[in-house]
Structure 1
Amino acid sequence: MWVQLLCGLVVYRVVKRFFYDDPDDDDQISDFNALFSVAQRLEKLYGGKAYVGLQVPDADTATRQTVDILLITQLEAVMICVKNISGFVAIDKDGNWVCAGGHKHKTQHLSDPVADAKGLVPILESYLEQRGVALPEGYLSAKVICPNPNFSTIHSVSFPPEVVTYDQWMQLTPQYKNMLSGWIKGAFRGGKKEFQESIYEKLNFILSTAPTSDRLELKGNKCLLGEFLEFKGNREDIQAMRNIRRSKVSRLEIQKTSMFGLVHSKLIVLYYPRDYRAEGVSTSEWKEFTVRSGTELKFQIQGSAKPSKYQLSSVISLSLSA
């Protein structure tokens, strides 16, 4: 009997590994959690709005380029690349990063993050100009933030000023938020207030309707960015969910059904029809239906080679980009 139980447990873990929550997702979840954490802290420090996971159309390559965070304030816009890497990091003669002694004790080689971030600046400027906003020269800059507490630099003087190391990141507080020279330049402090507010309002309007990565929130404080692909499950349940398409739905939430404190094998799916007239919809406009808890959601994680499947019972919410 014990042998059968052990064999069953092994089979379950193998099946779970290959068909459900991939253990390799944990690294990506850590990276995405760091991304959202940085965005939230930036908003507290500098005000404004931090947009996460923008997918900016690139006319030259006919693809979309991913922007980790775009911070918009009354003074300027800062494009931020978040590198959640650990270990001892050095810069080689070509500007590339070499990280040793980090996660899983593997040596990592990264292309120059500063050059990559700066390369996105003209692409974003071109996109915004197509949407009707031509930014003044110097309004949009690029930064690289390393928020991992296990990040250490080798020959830190060789790191360009655009890089905010972990130690510098921790020194940023509401009281001393300007202590890092070159972070918020204040280049437009002397400009007209009406001009600043005009650009700020236009940018927020454009970016609120710009394409972004879909966001999947899982139980256990886990968030993923990527692309929702489809639902899998019972034909009746899939038929009930046929209207959940990004052209019609902006967000869905999952709730468990219960009776007398007992949780049943059913889930209530709440979904919010997309309203193109406004940035959001009121809670009174949501719709609901019930499906089996075994229904699955297929999601292509950003940067992953293969899609992952998640049971809806492990999902809190899914936000869909337009």
Structure 2
Amino acid sequence: MHCLLVIISFAYVYKLPCRLQTLYGGKAYVGLRIPDPDTASRQNIDLVLVTKREAVVVSVINASGIVSIDGDGTWVCTGGSKHKTERLQDPMVEAKRQAAVLESYLEQRGVVLPDGYLSCKIVCPNPNFRTIHPDYFPPEVVTYEQWTELKAERKGISGWIKGALRSDKKEMQESIQNLGFILSTAPMWDRLELKNNKQLLGEFLEFKGKQDDIQSLRNIKRSKVSRMTIQKTSMFGLAHSKLQVLYAPRDYRSEGASGLEWNEVTVRSSTEVLFQLQDPAKVQKIKLSSIINMSLSP
């Protein structure tokens, strides 16, 4: 498989949930890393949309060029950004596997979903994605043209009304609440929101800087802290300006920030964050002054 085709632009990944939530309601969970007992590793899932009617595992594929499908399901992309033909083994196989791994994980956590409640979709949001025969793609695939034309539907993103609607209303509501709690506490990539309107997924490693600043930040660990936000305390961008770091203790009882108690420390603006990117997998030093928020996975 040529992985060049499936490098995700996280600008897409973070625009997708907003649009899906606007169209279909519910809540989107982004950047999940679900334990897979079959491979003893983590299964990356771009996002899961949960509504009253359905839960949809959405795989985002950043393919470009003219895309066609071979008889074995392989996607063939020609004339894309790499100006060469690239092949991607049947993405539906991987999408269905992601849904199966998630369903197994939920069952292990005590969430049993109604038959047909969980499904999968592939979204191709790259404007340079083109196809001559869109009807050749499986119904689970949303091409770029279809993505731009999506409209809010009562029956949801998957295009049907499942048996979930015929389930006991109270029981279904409790199941959705339980599902939301499990997904909000599931392993996921750490996330950085930067000032240049950029989002990064990866793993927070440590802080770098003066010893007294590192000492001040010693309590910001994933076991203790769920999120951190940065504010500048001095004006005019002075070289020795300070940053106010607010951090919230981890609270598994609530996924919202409104009820959290925020702690505060002040450090030099030269302090850096060591962050291992998910894709490409490399370690990057990022100035704390360029960060707006950081969310840490459990």
Task: Provide the C-alpha distance between the structure 1 equivalents of 2:134 and 2:256, rounded to a whole number of angstroms.
Answer: 44
The residue aligned with 1:203 is 179
The residue aligned with 1:17 is none
The residue aligned with 2:3 is none
How far 1:106 sits from its partner (Å)? Answer: 4.4
Q: How high is the TM-score relative to the length of structure 1?
A: 0.84
Task: Provide the C-alpha distance between the structure 2 equivalents of 1:285 and 1:138, rounded to a whole number of angstroms.
Answer: 40
How far 1:105 sits from its partner (Å)? Answer: 2.9
Q: 1:137 to 1:33 in 2, by over 3 A?
A: same
**Do structure 1's residue 234 and structure 2's residue 204 form an aligned pair?**
no
Read off the aligned partner of 1:97 and give its amino acid letter: W
Read off the aligned partner of 1:207 and give its amino acid letter: L
Task: Provide the C-alpha distance between the structure 1 equivalents of 2:45 and 2:277, rounded to a whole number of angstroms.
Answer: 15
Aligned length: 291
**Do structure 1's residue 293 and structure 2's residue 269 form an aligned pair?**
yes
Task: Provide the C-alpha distance between the structure 1 equivalents of 2:18 and 2:260, rounded to a whole number of angstroms.
Answer: 28
Task: Write 1 or 2 for the structure with the bigger share of helix.
Answer: 1
How far 1:178 sits from its partner (Å)? Answer: 6.2
**Do structure 1's residue 111 and structure 2's residue 89 form an aligned pair?**
yes
Q: 1:161 to 1:41 in 2, by over 3 A?
A: same
SS in 2 for 1:105: coil
**Do structure 1's residue 37 and structure 2's residue 41 form an aligned pair?**
no
Read off the aligned partner of 2:158 and give its amino acid letter: W
Q: 1:156 to 1:297 in 2, by over 3 A?
A: same
Out of 276, 285, 290, the position equivalent to 2:252 is: 276
Provide Cα deviations, 1:270-321, integer angstroms capped at 9, x if missing partner.
1111123332444772122222222111111113232111111111110001
Output aligned runs, 1:1-322, within 5 Å: 31-174=9-152, 177=153, 183-188=158-163, 189-259=165-235, 261=236, 263=238, 264-282=240-258, 285-322=261-298
CA RMSD of superposed structures (Å) = 2.2
Greater CA drift, 299-308 or 43-52: 299-308
Read off the aligned partner of 1:167 and give its amino acid letter: E
Task: Provide the C-alpha distance between the structure 2 equivalents of 1:192 and 1:275, rounded to a whole number of angstroms.
Answer: 31
Contact 2:155 2:161 in 1 (8 A): no
Task: Provide the C-alpha distance between the structure 1 equivalents of 2:229 and 2:113, rounded to a whole number of angstroms.
Answer: 37
Provide Cα deviations, 1:18-46, integer angstroms capped at 9, x if missing partner.
xxxxxxxxx97x71110111111111111
How far 1:123 sits from its partner (Å)? Answer: 1.0
SS in 2 for 1:103: coil
Read off the aligned partner of 2:120 and give its amino acid letter: A
Contact 2:65 2:78 in 1 (8 A): yes
Task: Provide the C-alpha distance between the structure 1 equivalents of 2:154 and 2:259, rounded to a whole number of angstroms.
Answer: 39
**Runs of 4+ in structure 1 over 6 Å off:** none
Q: How high is the TM-score relative to the length of structure 2?
A: 0.90
Contact 1:213 1:227 in 2 (8 A): yes
Greater CA drift, 271-280 or 64-73: 271-280
Task: Provide the C-alpha distance between the structure 1 equivalents of 2:221 and 2:80, rounded to a whole number of angstroms.
Answer: 40
Read off the aligned partner of 1:248 and give its amino acid letter: K
How far 1:179 sits from its partner (Å)? Answer: 9.3
How far 1:61 sits from its partner (Å)? Answer: 1.3
How far 1:129 sits from its partner (Å)? Answer: 0.6
How far 1:71 sits from its partner (Å)? Answer: 0.9
Task: Provide the C-alpha distance between the structure 2 equivalents of 1:284 and 1:158, rounded to a whole number of angstroms.
Answer: 50
Task: Provide the C-alpha distance between the structure 2 equivalents of 1:78 and 1:262, rounded to a whole number of angstroms.
Answer: 45
How far 1:112 sits from its partner (Å)? Answer: 1.9
Ranges in structure 1 where 5+ consecutive residues have no aligned partner: 1-26
Task: Provide the C-alpha distance between the structure 2 equivalents of 1:296 and 1:219, rounded to a whole number of angstroms.
Answer: 15
SS in 2 for 1:57: strand
Read off the aligned partner of 1:109 and give its amino acid letter: R
The residue aligned with 1:15 is none
SS in 2 for 1:134: coil
Task: Provide the C-alpha distance between the structure 2 equivalents of 1:98 and 1:270, rounded to a whole number of angstroms.
Answer: 48
Percent of residue pairs bearing the same amino acid type: 58
SS in 2 for 1:120: helix
Q: 1:55 to 1:262 in 2, by over 3 A?
A: closer
Contact 1:274 1:281 in 2 (8 A): no
Read off the aligned partner of 1:103 and give its amino acid letter: S
Provide Cα deviations, 1:122-166, integer angstroms capped at 9, x if missing partner.
211111011111122222111101112221013322211110011
Greater CA drift, 216-225 or 108-117: 108-117
Task: Provide the C-alpha distance between the structure 1 equivalents of 2:192 and 2:14, rounded to a whole number of angstroms.
Answer: 13
The residue aligned with 1:11 is none
How far 1:170 sits from its partner (Å)? Answer: 1.3
